[in-house]
Amino acid sequence: MLDLRWPIGLMFSLIGALLTIYGAATHSDTALYQRSLGININIIWGIVLFIFGVLMLLGAILGKKEN
């Protein structure tokens, strides 16, 4: 049976990595982040999504060992 943590973890890890890379590439563009008070939201949420995805993948790996 398919563990839903695998596709969820892969999806969030991939989106988080892409968002973090985009935030790092546009870090010097101050006009882009003027609306968010100069905070690079892309890097922050990219890291949050990546960590969540890794935790889902870790849960899938550790859950497989218990069964």
pLDDT at residue 23, as a whole number: 93
Domain count, the chain: 1
Assign 9 to helix, strand or coil. Answer: helix
Those residues whose C-beta lies under 8 Å from the C-beta of residue 3, and which sit 6 or more positions away, are: 60, 63, 64
pLDDT band at 66 (very low <50, low <70, confident <90, very high): low
Assign 23 to helix, strand or coil. Answer: helix
Supply the pTM of this predicted model. 0.86
Residue-wise pLDDT for 1-60, tens only, equals 788 999 999 999 999 999 999 999 998 888 888 888 988 999 999 999 999 999 999 999
Q: Which two tokens stand for residue 36?
A: 């968010």
Q: Are 58 and 5 in contact (CB under 8 A)?
A: no
Tell me the residue range of the domain where 51 lies: 5-66
